[in-house]
Chains A and B, each alone.
Chain A
Amino acid sequence: MTKRLMLLLLVGLLVVPLAGCQGGRGSHRPDPNTLYVGSVQSSFPSAYMPWLSREGIAPTIAGMLYDSLFSYDEVTDSYLPAIGKEWYYVDEDGEPILTADGSIDYARLEEIYSDPKYDYLAVKVVIHDNITWSDGVPLTVEDIYYSFDLAANHALSNHAGALAWTSDLKHKYTNGVLVQKGIFTYERGALEQGYYIAPDEKDTVIYFHVNKVLGAVTPLFTSVLILPRHIWEPVVTPQNQLNSSAPNEELLYRYTHPVGSGAWVLDTEQSGSQQIVLHRRKDYHLTKDDGSPLYAVDTIKFVLYQEQNVAIYALLKGHIDVLDSSVSSNYLLLFAKEKDLFVCNAPGTFTQTLVFNLNPVTSERNPMRNLLANAEFRKAMALAINQDELIKNVLDGAGVWASAGLMRPTLEEFYNPQADSLLPSDYEQRLALANSILDQIAPDKDGDGYRLLNGQRISFKILGTPREQDVVSFLQIQFQKIGIDVQYAPKGAQPESTYLYTSKFDLTLQGVIFSLSNVDIMYPAHFSTLGRTSNYGRLVNEQLNAAIEEMRYTLNLNRKYELIKQIQPMIAQVYYKVPLYTANVISVARTDRFTGYQVVEGATVLNSASLQNLRRVEGR
């Protein structure tokens, strides 16, 4: 009987493997014209309404299916054509305010708009005249009017993000009623406003009134993906809002069958929760200089992986061409042993900082935290930070030193090296200086060499994610050298409401990214505004606030640049957000089928430049 049982058992165990055996070992990348891209996510979205896409891969896909007016090049602080071809600040007659060489005449702009009768800046945008939606319908300025008007009208869009994007647009609705008109086309009041548009330009010219700040156009140009009016207008009503919690079938169909103006179109038949297939549009209006298609790949197939190790192994085994996720520097050694791999070790844009809670609300103050209010104490802690050691130990060398002014040195035109000349560069010298400062503030030490305050060891908790524990460990070693103890404290799932907005922390790790495109918003959010902003430590510095306000509101671009440079040493001097490092973005691609991958700052290997430069490997 036992033998029979054992036999049965063996048969049972064999059934599953036999059922599961691979039918064949065909190629995992069968189509030579398709780029197979692995993406580490928990799931792919099923709805592609661009404004609703804010998690996981959804914004990337939305950005490929839809275009905004322009894209922004932060190195040159300029706007690159997308739907829009060119744009100008204009005077009250709609005439561009330009110098003789065709660039923006900021002096005249300032002169005209310093008149208090204007509470806006007028902007003219000219779009390409050969754009069509993916269903073949021509794209005109009426689509652009519709998109911005919808974004500003809460009663129709019911969309939170759209409010933020259009907050600088002087086109306002109250309870679904237009109370201030700030968008003008040939058919929508341009002439009445004094802006002449010739009949043959009626589909391509649009005017905007925006807030009187130079940064106002950035979110309008780059954040609002333009929607096809002929698709959405017939179904979006106050009862059937664009972002509806109970979308009807017509809305749902539009969410899942996107019609966009981008370079790619979704294959709705083949796409699902585990793969997304995009085909290149043959009629996309942007091309290379020689007239050839902008993108060399015909089809991109995104394949879902829920576990990063599996995705990396899938890449190494040739199941996919590219892994569209940044990976830890721990994998660099593994990649070094492999052939046919392109490891993209791109400079990062995200700077890790250590933030001091220097001005907690009254109820959260204590003697230890009072130390953090002392700029000299913070300076001593900043001196003890050795960025080179952190890059070597935490990032395995895959990172770069970050400026104390928190502007990336790669932005050569705007980076101010003065911010980094405030403290000595030699680490031994820095430690000596830090200890001499602390000897004045807290000279007593315990048996382990830690400094004492009122007989108690000076110790702070650093909030971080579990992944950031190693950063805290190395900071622990560095601060030990000046007699200050730091400990890791978990941030939890909602650090803002739990700790940061309520001043319930000593120090926290925070990633920051400052560029020309975001300083108008990010400088106040990080250094001026109190409340629910990224100014967690509640810095109040009048000199810095004044500089930031002037930078935001000046209409003289040169003055704005000058102020951005002046603000950097100020940021460095308050020792509030002290830089630790800027980590590289490491990603990887196979080179056995496609080559020409490009390294782009802050981006993975699957970036727009790579897609434009990829070419098939001959003979494969």
Chain B
Amino acid sequence: MKLSYVIKRVLYSLFVFAVVITLNFFIPRIGVADPAERYYPPQGNMSDIEYEIVKQLTREQYGFHVSTWQQYLNYLKGLARGDLGTSFRPGSPKVMDLITERLPWTLVLSVSTMLIGLIVGVLFGVVAAVKRGRWQDTLLLNASTVMVALPSFFIALILSFYLGFEWEIFPAYTDSTMVSEFAWTWEGISRVARNAALPVMSMMVGSIISYAQGTRNAVIAVTNEDFVLTARAKGLKTSTIRYKHILRNSLLPIVTSLGMSISGLIGGQVVIEQVFNWQGMGTLFLEANQTNDYPLMMGIMLLLSGFTIFAILVTDLIYVLLDPRVTVGDKR
């Protein structure tokens, strides 16, 4: 891999991130004459004079009393110190603290879902491709069609009602002390696993189908390539052709898909988290939205954007490692 290519990609990513930071600061302010009004909407029992005093206090408290450019500079200074700002919540917690509190729990769900989805999905995909036209393949294709039509919240509610409430096989929703009493012990970890079972199952169905379908299509496409025909003509064993030649060469689209999934790891799944009472990033963003807590919204958006840019950068670099022919942006 060329060093110049890596430097170019990194610089490009940094530029995009700088644009994102700027947009992230200015977009919430578009159409808002006074941010203090977002924090403190007019109250029925306040006169205009009282409301003006209230807004002035709010502006000073949250730094809205200086010019927008000064606010932007203060925002950049804060970011340089790793400070994403102060939430509007009671007690004025730091946005970073709120995010670090929730992020691990979102990662528990999303990483488990991604790993299970990847492993099982790739296996399914390979089987479906190898057994093309047979029941395994038909099952995958039909399952894909059904999954497209079934929203995840529906699956979540069905699983919660039947496997949770009715048959009591899994907890129907998260144990209310799971987070507060968590400890790195076997009991603590198995408790998290118990509580995560249904949310992960709700999410992994779609994930498995998605990876399986991607793998199936990639494997079938590669199977028809000339080099596979050559390998067959050379008399290589079927398993060698399948796993050394076909599967390895089918990895590129899977890596792309994985890169995209990684960027979505920290965003959380609002509906799944809601149904199962899971205190993750999705519900944190929802709460921020419902309460007009836009320092928190900005913090989450920045983190998501930054992580997505990073994931795309890593994917691009891995892509080049896997296929040295890829030189995006190189005009030679």
Residues in chain A within 8 A of chain B (CB atoms): 1-2, 5-6, 8-9, 12-13, 16-17, 19-23, 25, 42-43, 45-49, 52-55, 58, 154, 158-161, 163-164, 167, 219, 243-247, 252, 255-256, 270, 272-275, 303-307, 309-310, 313-314, 317, 319, 494, 496-497, 518, 521-522, 525, 529, 531-534
- List, in ascending order, chain B residues with CB within 8 A of A48's CB: 90
A518: B residues at CB distance < 8 A? 45
Q: Which residues of B contact A273 (CB under 8 A)?
A: 179-180, 279
Encode contact with A along B42-59: 1 for CB under 8 Å, 0 otherwise: 111111101101100110
Residue from B37, B61, B124, B172 within 8 A of A245 (CB atoms): B61
Q: Which of B38, B86, B93, B176 contacts A274 (CB 8 A)?
A: B176
Complex contact A247–B92 (CB within 8 A): yes
Contact A9 B90 (CB under 8 A): no
Known: A164-B43, A274-B174, A304-B176. A310 touches B277 (CB 8 A): yes
Q: Which one of A13, A525, A531, A533 contacts B120 once the chains associate, using CB atoms below 8 Å?
A: A13
Q: How far is the CB of A162 from chain B (nearest CB, A)?
A: 10
Indicate the member of B41, B42, B89, B173 with the most A CB atoms within 10 Å.
B173
Q: Given that A58-B90, A158-B61 are contacting pairs, would A22 and B51 also be in contact in the complex, using a CB cutoff of 8 Å?
A: no
Contact of B287 among A43, A243, A531 (CB under 8 A): A43
Within the complex, what minimum Cβ distance (angstroms) separates A354 from chain B?
Answer: 19
Q: Would A313 and B165 count as touching, CB distance under 8 A?
A: yes
The reply to whether B53 and A154 contact each other, CB–CB distance below 8 Å, is yes
In the complex, A42 Cα to B286 Cα: how many Å?
8
Neighbouring A residues of B174 by C-beta, 8 Å: 274
Q: Does the CB pair A160–B91 fall under 8 Å?
A: no
Contact among A1, A21, A244 for B194, CB-based, below 8 A: A21
Apart from A163-B50, A273-B180, 16 more pairs, CB < 8 Å: A12-B116, A16-B197, A19-B193, A20-B170, A42-B274, A53-B90, A154-B57, A160-B40, A161-B43, A164-B54, A273-B179, A313-B172, A317-B172, A518-B45, A532-B48, A534-B44
Please give, as numbers and ranges, the residues of chain B lying within 8 Å of A154 by CB-CB distance. Answer: 53, 57
Residues of A within 8 A of B241 (CB): none
18 pairs from A and B in contact (CB 8 Å cutoff): A20-B195, A20-B196, A22-B168, A22-B169, A43-B279, A45-B91, A49-B91, A154-B57, A159-B57, A160-B54, A163-B46, A245-B86, A255-B91, A274-B179, A275-B176, A303-B176, A313-B160, A497-B33
Question: Does the CB pair A164–B48 fall under 8 Å?
Answer: no
Residues of A within 8 A of B116 (CB): 12, 16
Contacts of A256 in B (CB 8 A): 91
Q: With A49-B91, A274-B277 known to touch, is A164 a contact of B45 (CB < 8 Å)?
A: yes
Which residues on the A side are within 8 Å of B92 (C-beta)? 243-247
A496 touches B91 (CB 8 A): no
Of the listed residues B92, B174, B273, B291, the one surrounded by the most CB atoms of chain A closer than 10 A to its CB is B92
Q: Which 5 pairs from chain A and chain B are nearest by CB? A: A20-B197, A47-B91, A272-B180, A275-B176, A52-B90
Chain B residues packing against A (C-beta within 8 Å): 33, 37-38, 40-48, 50-51, 53-54, 57-58, 61-62, 86, 89-93, 116, 119-120, 123-124, 126-127, 130-131, 157, 160-161, 165, 168-174, 176-180, 190, 193-198, 200-201, 204, 239, 273-277, 279, 283-284, 286-287, 290-291
Distance to closest chain A CB from B8 (angstroms): 40
The verdict on A496 contacting B41 (CB below 8 Å), with A20-B194, A55-B291, A272-B177 known, is yes
Q: Name the one of A21, A161, A164 contacting B169, with C-beta atoms under 8 angstroms.
A: A21
Cα–Cα, bound, A19→B169 (Å): 11
Quote the shortest CB–CB distance from A80 to chain B (angstroms).
21
Point out the residues of chain B lying under 8 angstroms from A252, CB to CB: 91
> Would you call B283 and A245 a contact (CB within 8 A)?
no
With a cutoff of 8 Å between Cβ atoms, the chain A residues found around residue B198 in the complex are: 20
Which of chain A's residues have a CB closer than 8 A to the CB of B53?
154, 163
Q: Which residue in chain B gives the minimum CB-CB distance to A160?
A: B54
Contact B274 A307 (CB under 8 A): yes
Which of A160, A164, A307 has the most C-beta atoms of chain B within 10 angstroms of its own C-beta? A160
For B172, the chain A residues whose CB sits under 8 A away are 310, 313-314, 317, 319
Q: Which residue of B lies closest to A55 (CB)?
A: B291
| CB-based contact B123/A274 at 8 Å | no
Chain A residues contacting B57 (CB-CB under 8 Å) are: 154, 158-160
Q: Give A58 to B287 CA distance when docked, in angstroms.
A: 14
Are A314 and B173 interface neighbours, CB within 8 A? yes
Q: How many angstroms from the CA of A272 to the CA of B176 in the assembled complex? A: 8
Q: Knowing A22-B168, A532-B48, say if A1 contacts B239 (CB, 8 Å).
A: yes
Q: Would you call A8 and B165 a contact (CB within 8 A)?
A: no
Q: Nearest chain A CB to B178's CB is how many angstroms away?
A: 8
C-alpha gap A158/B62 in the complex (Å): 12
Question: Whole-angstrom distance between the alpha carbons of A8 and B33 in the complex?
Answer: 60
A381, B168: Cα distance in complex, Å: 54
